[in-house]
């Protein structure tokens, strides 16, 4: 198609999948966003930062699209309100003195589900919830079962202005903890093949059957960095939240992401992800968390980002959660 005169942006469009713009004004907005991203990539000093950035398919996103994509906070739109913290009576893991290996990597195993794509929907909370459930189901059965994020997007919310018992808002954000509460209240989960992901909110299908029934609880990981390392070794992948608000996070390409402007406070974390291990970069010696995003395998290192553990891990160690299933039965 003939575009509106920004050659570099036109080349990006064709290379990245030829996004269709609906008007000349939208084209100019996206071309300006792309130009700003290109300038940021050109100015980035990969040798000093330890990571590289590139013009990913998100390089021409508009600010409101980026905000919607990473906003976990329902209703507030990402502004104000911290992610839920532990409540009285919640389970908390503790650190032991067992020796820990220098690295743990669950990628490519049955414990770590394939990299997924949330598309243009603020449903990261649903993907974080389901990823932790898939890891727990693997621990209980030894087999990989993929569950439905769309089921949570459509059904795991409360109608009272999204502020009821399950304050999630479909593509408008949500929390892993309240999604876990909803999943355990109905004692089961639906298979992804029976309730496929669409990337938009829809009416809840109440007739679809559970692919597995279970009971259990979610566990907060305590014990600091070594407590999280130990939990990853013993429990496998789990869900965490991250501060993904920096302009260069959507442009991450490779290396150990080390943005010292990241926040670690729960009030600033805005994106649910999965953590699949930890390690030490062979070239730089930087210790990192291995994090699986939900922006497709075309983003980052095959869908993953390695985030520096210190001095600032962008909140990865602030809210790790895994599921402990007390009873589990897969569908016949």
Question: Is 73 labeled as catalytic in the residue annotation?
Answer: no
- Euclidean distance between CA atoms 197 and 154, whole angstroms: 10
- Euclidean distance between CA atoms 61 and 199, whole angstroms: 17
Question: Is 293 labeled as catalytic in the residue annotation?
Answer: yes
Catalytic member of 124, 171, 262, 314: 124
Side-chain-facing half-sphere of 20: CA atoms under 13 Å = 2
Collapsing DSSP states into helix, strand and coil, what is residue 283? coil
- Euclidean distance between CA atoms 44 and 92, whole angstroms: 40
Q: How far does CA 37 lie from the centroid of its chain?
A: 22
- Euclidean distance between CA atoms 214 and 232, whole angstroms: 22
CB 288 within 8 A of CB 306: yes
CA dihedral 74, 72, 299, 35 (to 10 degrees): 70
Concatenated DSSP letters for 23-58?
Answer: SHHHHHHHHHHHHHHHHHHHH--HHHHSEEE---TT
In terms of Cβ atoms closer than 10 Å to its own Cβ (0-12, 13-18, 19+), residue 165 is exposed
- In this structure, what DSSP letter does residue 20 have? P
Collapsing DSSP states into helix, strand and coil, what is residue 212? strand
Question: Is 271 labeled as catalytic in the residue annotation?
Answer: yes
Which pair of tokens denotes residue 135?
A: 């890891």
Catalytic member of 168, 210, 258, 293: 293
Catalytic member of 155, 171, 271, 314: 271
Q: Which residues are catalytic?
A: 124, 271, 293
């Amino acid at each position: 198609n003939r575009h509106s005169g920004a050659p570099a942006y036109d080349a990006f469009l064709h290379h990245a999948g030829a996004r269709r713009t609906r008007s000349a004004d939208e084209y100019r907005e996206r071309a300006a966003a792309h130009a700003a991203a290109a300038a940021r990539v050109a100015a980035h000093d990969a040798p000093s930062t330890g990571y590289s950035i590139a013009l990913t398919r998100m390089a021409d996103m508009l600010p409101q699209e980026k905000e919607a994509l990473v906003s976990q906070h329902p209703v507030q739109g990402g502004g104000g309100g911290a992610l839920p913290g532990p409540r009285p009576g919640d389970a908390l893991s503790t650190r032991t003195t067992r020796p820990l290996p220098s690295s743990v990597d669950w990628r490519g195993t049955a414990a770590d589900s394939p990299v997924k794509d949330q598309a243009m929907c603020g449903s990261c909370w649903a993907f974080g919830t389901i990823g932790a459930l898939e890891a727990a189901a693997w621990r209980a059965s030894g087999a990989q079962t993929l569950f439905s994020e769309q089921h949570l997007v459509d059904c795991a919310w409360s109608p009272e202005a999204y502020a009821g018992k399950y304050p999630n808002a479909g593509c408008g954000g949500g929390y892993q903890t309240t999604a876990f509460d909803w999943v355990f209240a109905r004692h089961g989960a639906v298979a992804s093949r029976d309730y496929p992901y669409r990337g938009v909110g829809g009416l809840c299908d109440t007739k679809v059957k559970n692919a597995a029934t279970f009971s259990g609880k979610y566990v907060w990981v305590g014990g600091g960095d070594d407590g999280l390392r130990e939990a990853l070794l013993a429990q496998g992948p789990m869900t965490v939240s991250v501060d993904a608000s920096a302009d260069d996070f959507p442009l991450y390409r490779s290396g150990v992401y080390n943005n010292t402007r990241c926040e670690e406070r729960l009030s600033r974390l805005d994106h649910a992800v999965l953590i699949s291990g930890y390690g030490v970069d062979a070239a730089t010696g930087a210790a990192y968390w291995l994090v699986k995003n939900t922006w497709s395998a075309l983003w980052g290192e095959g869908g993953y980002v390695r985030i520096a553990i210190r001095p600032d891990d962008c909140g990865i160690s602030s809210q790790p959660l895994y599921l402990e299933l007390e009873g589990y039965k897969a569908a016949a």
